[in-house]
């Protein structure tokens, strides 16, 4: 059966349509002012999505709800609301209005303390003026007493007792005035110091806080007489996080405790109290449509022989890639400016302008690929590209409180116990120190993002390092500091040279010494390197080695092909000086006798 159209339903429809344009309350009911509670926060890299829980009381019907105390760093274009119980949302709009006081409770509390101190300073200034007047009066009284005593003395009627009493009184009053002035100066100094501290504290706490109220006006249709529950969501700037680690090695070296922390910068302008917090590496976008791909049209010009080389094309392509990423980021973050939105509302370029810029940069990149004489133009470090594009989310197990402050705030994401392969690493061609390391498997369900690490061994801090981005099941290496009981040295003990035909052959003999000052034997991974070069220009071969090379399969398939030689050696206890454990090896270098050797700097490779 069809529902008949009534006058009330027509009024409801008209008010629902016109509510975004007017502030007329529904059916004579005043708007409801509700701040709500921040219930959940998702922190991204540079932004945060805040969710407020709004409990709207009954009765049922159309109601206008004003949600105040929104932060200055809000992105108005991201504001939206959803009714999770007892009704539905008809409209949401954002507005700002000036207020007499700062809108944040913590800032208002500091302002009240500052006003109280200013009142006390004014009171002290009045007391200081009164003391100055009393001292002036005492000076005048002294002059009067002195002239009177002189006159009486000349007439022979001087009253010695009266003069003595007056003199003592003046000295007592001057002493009292001096004490009062000293106490007044101390109080004035203490109040000024307190004022300076509060002003600095206000700068730290307030940040971008202003005397402007920012509000969301939500028009609700409440269907439950008991009221409705609504979520208000919005993005804020001034919030970011970065990973950091504490790595603790057990005394028996059978496991590693990895404390995964998030260093959060929270300058959104509002405090997050007892919230469910999520950390994410995703990038929230305010642009929902993909960029439009334009056709690529080519034309011909006279050939002048200036085809770019592969060496010149690489940096140019990297620069184009960087510009594309910057343009893509600006396009994704654009939003339409809101009335009264303040500095948080960006006056964005039209979307088509960003699309044209992206197409122009992509055109330059494609033309560079077409004219460069190179079979392949890889993007570079694929691992780094995967890390930059990695999107992970961490839900913190407990609710968290983070005030809006300028300083970094540390929260723990997880605490992991991971098993690893512990070893000591010596690279005497670089350093005489021997370092302890652990090759660990990420057996947790978390992806570990790249970040700095502080390392502790047996409860003692040993140094700083870095943890790379590590996915589930992947291996990574952590440094555990220098083993002070070990030393390594490398020396050239022989060099012979000969010419055979058109080639020059040079043989080198090196000796590596490993000393152990400790009371227990130590197993060491010893690394050295052989020169490498183009096969047709330079040939290098290992002729002999006193100790067999390592049979580690991973090393053989990776670093050994790059000329890195590894020996796995156990150094007995108390082997120093002439008794040091040694490795002697010989290699041969061959090249054109008319040419000389020069080195090419290379990036260090990670050891397994």
Provide DSSP, 150-195. HHHHHHT---HHHHHHHHHHHHHHHHHHHHHHHHHHHHHHHHHHHH
More confident site: 476 or 98: 476
The answer on 542 and 562 residing in a single domain is yes
Could you tell me if residue 573 is inside a domain? Answer: yes
Could you tell me if residue 409 is inside a domain? Answer: no
Locate 147 and state its tokens: 């002239």
**Over residues 165-190, mean pLDDT:** 83
Say what the pLDDT of residue 28 is: 46
Say what the pLDDT of residue 26 is: 43
C-alpha–C-alpha distance, residues 264 and 406, integer Å? 10
Last residue of a domain, one of 147, 182, 206: 206
Task: Tell me what percent of the residues of the chain surpass a pLDDT of 70.
Answer: 79
More confident site: 171 or 435: 435
C-alpha–C-alpha distance, residues 123 and 93, integer Å? 47
Say what the pLDDT of residue 291 is: 75
Nearest CA to 57 out of 267, 222, 269 is that of 222
C-alpha–C-alpha distance, residues 195 and 190, integer Å? 9
Say what the pLDDT of residue 347 is: 42
Could you tell me if residue 416 is inside a domain? Answer: no
More confident site: 511 or 154: 511
**Over residues 185-195, mean pLDDT:** 87
Read off the pLDDT band of 156 (50, 70, 90): low
The answer on 232 and 322 residing in a single domain is no
Read off the pLDDT band of 311 (50, 70, 90): low
Beta-bridged to residue 589, according to DSSP, are 506, 540
Is residue 29 predicted with pLDDT exceeding 80?
no
Say what the pLDDT of residue 161 is: 72
Indicate the average pLDDT of the chain. Answer: 80
The answer on 215 and 170 residing in a single domain is no
**Over residues 565-582, mean pLDDT:** 91
Read off the pLDDT band of 309 (50, 70, 90): low
Alpha-carbon dihedral of residues 52, 53, 55, 60, nearest 10 degrees?
A: 80
Residue 515, domain extent: 421-592
The answer on 275 and 184 residing in a single domain is no
pLDDT tens digit sequence for 53-65: 999 998 888 989 9
Could you tell me if residue 608 is inside a domain? Answer: no
Nearest CA to 528 out of 509, 547, 512, 505 is that of 512
Could you tell me if residue 471 is inside a domain? Answer: yes
DSSP three-state, residue 9: helix
The answer on 581 and 453 residing in a single domain is yes
The answer on 273 and 142 residing in a single domain is no
Is residue 427 predicted with pLDDT exceeding 60?
yes
Is residue 99 predicted with pLDDT exceeding 80?
no
Last residue of a domain, one of 189, 206, 223: 206
Of 139-143, 268-272, 276-280, least confident by mean pLDDT is 139-143
pTM of the model: 0.64
**Over residues 196-216, mean pLDDT:** 72
The answer on 258 and 121 residing in a single domain is no
Is residue 599 predicted with pLDDT exceeding 50?
yes
Could you tell me if residue 320 is inside a domain? Answer: yes
What total number of domains does the chain contain?
Answer: 4
Beta-strand (E) ranges in 380-533?
393-395, 400-402, 409-418, 420-426, 433-441, 451-457, 460-467, 475-500, 503-516, 522-529
Read off the pLDDT band of 302 (50, 70, 90): low
Say what the pLDDT of residue 167 is: 76
Say what the pLDDT of residue 148 is: 73
Could you tell me if residue 124 is inside a domain? Answer: yes
The answer on 387 and 268 residing in a single domain is yes
More confident site: 275 or 301: 275
Say what the pLDDT of residue 382 is: 44
Render the burial of 317-334: b for 16+ CB within 10 Å, e for the rest. Answer: beebeebbeebbeebebb
What's the per-residue H, E or C state across 201-231? HHHHHHCCCCCEEEEEEEEEEECCCCEEEEE
pLDDT tens digit sequence for 313-337: 777 888 888 888 788 777 766 544 4
The answer on 246 and 234 residing in a single domain is no
588's CB contacts (< 8 A; 6+ apart) are 505, 506, 507, 508, 540, 541, 543
DSSP 27: G
The answer on 562 and 500 residing in a single domain is yes
The answer on 284 and 174 residing in a single domain is no
DSSP three-state, residue 266: strand
Q: How many alpha carbons fall within 13 Å on the CB side of residue 153? A: 9
C-alpha–C-alpha distance, residues 380 and 40, integer Å? 39
More confident site: 505 or 101: 505
More confident site: 103 or 227: 227
Nearest CA to 454 out of 255, 246, 259 is that of 246
Beta-bridged to residue 503, according to DSSP, are 500, 592
Is residue 149 predicted with pLDDT exceeding 90?
no
Is residue 51 predicted with pLDDT exceeding 90?
yes
The answer on 113 and 95 residing in a single domain is no
Q: Please, what sign has the CA dihedral across residues 312, 315, 318, 319?
A: negative
Could you tell me if residue 415 is inside a domain? Answer: no
Render the burial of 169-190: b for 16+ CB within 10 Å, e for the rest. Answer: eeeeeeeeeeebbeebeeebee
Locate 152 and state its tokens: 């009486």
């Amino acid at each position: 059966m069809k529902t008949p159209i009534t006058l009330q339903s027509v009024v409801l429809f008209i008010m629902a349509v016109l509510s975004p344009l007017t502030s007329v309350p529904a059916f004579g009911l005043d708007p409801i002012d509700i701040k709500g509670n921040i219930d959940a926060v998702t922190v991204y890299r540079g932004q945060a999505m805040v969710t407020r829980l709004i409990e709207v009381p009954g009765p049922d019907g159309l109601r206008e709800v004003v949600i105040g105390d929104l932060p200055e760093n809000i992105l108005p274009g991201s504001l939206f609301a959803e009714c999770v119980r007892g009704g539905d949302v008809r409209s949401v709009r954002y507005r700002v209005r000036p207020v007499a006081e700062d809108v944040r409770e913590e800032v208002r509390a500091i302002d009240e303390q500052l006003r109280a101190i200013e009142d006390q300073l004014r009171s002290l200034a009045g007391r200081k003026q009164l003391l100055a007047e009393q001292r002036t009066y005492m000076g005048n009284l002294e002059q009067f007493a002195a002239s009177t005593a002189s006159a009486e003395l000349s007439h022979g009627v001087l009253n010695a007792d009266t003069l003595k009493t007056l003199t003592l009184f003046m000295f007592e009053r001057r002493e009292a005035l001096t004490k009062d002035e000293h106490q007044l100066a101390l109080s004035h100094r203490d109040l000024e110091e307190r004022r300076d501290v509060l002003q600095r504290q206000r700068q730290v706490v307030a940040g971008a806080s202003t005397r402007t109220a920012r509000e969301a006006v939500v028009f609700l249709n409440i269907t439950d007489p008991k009221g409705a529950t609504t979520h208000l969501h919005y993005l804020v700037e001034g919030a970011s996080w970065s990973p950091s680690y504490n790595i603790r090695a057990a005394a028996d070296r059978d496991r590693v405790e990895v404390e995964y922390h998030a260093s959060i910068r929270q300058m959104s302008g509002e405090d997050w109290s007892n919230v469910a917090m999520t950390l994410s590496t995703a990038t929230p976008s305010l642009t929902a449509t993909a960029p439009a791909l334009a056709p690529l049209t080519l034309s011909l010009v006279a050939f002048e022989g200036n085809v770019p080389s592969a060496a010149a094309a690489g940096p140019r392509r990297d620069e184009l890639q960087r510009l594309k990423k910057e343009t893509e980021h600006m396009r994704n973050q654009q939003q339409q400016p809101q009335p009264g939105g303040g500095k948080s509302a960006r006056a964005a370029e039209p979307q088509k302008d960003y699309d044209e810029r992206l197409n122009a940069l992509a055109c330059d990149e494609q033309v560079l690929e077409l004219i460069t004489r190179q079979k392949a133009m890889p993007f570079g470090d694929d691992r780094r590209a995967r890390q930059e594009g990695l999107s992970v989310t961490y839900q913190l197990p407990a609710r968290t409180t983070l005030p809006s402050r300028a300083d970094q705030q540390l929260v723990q994401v997880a605490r992991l116990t991971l098993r690893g392969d512990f070893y000591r690493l010596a690279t005497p061609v670089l350093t005489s120190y021997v370092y302890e390391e652990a090759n660990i498997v990420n057996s947790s369900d978390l992806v570990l993002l790249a970040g700095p690490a502080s390392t502790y061994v047996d409860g003692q801090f040993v140094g700083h390092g870095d943890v790379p981005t590590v996915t589930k099941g992947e291996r990574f290496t952590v440094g555990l500091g220098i083993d002070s009981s070990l030393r390594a040295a490398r020396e050239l003990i022989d060099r012979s040279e000969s010419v055979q035909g058109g080639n020059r052959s040079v043989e080198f003999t090196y000796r590596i010494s490993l000393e152990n000052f400790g009371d227990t034997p130590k197993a060491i991974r010893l690394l050295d390197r052989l020169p490498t070069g183009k096969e047709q220009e330079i040939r290098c071969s290992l002729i002999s080695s006193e100790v067999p090379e390592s049979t580690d399969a991973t090393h053989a398939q990776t670093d050994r092909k790059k000329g890195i030689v590894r020996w796995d050696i156990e150094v007995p206890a108390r082997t120093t000086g002439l008794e040091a454990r040694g490795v002697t090896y010989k290699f041969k270098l061959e090249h054109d006798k008319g040419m000389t050797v020069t080195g090419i700097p290379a990036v260090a490779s990670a050891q397994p």
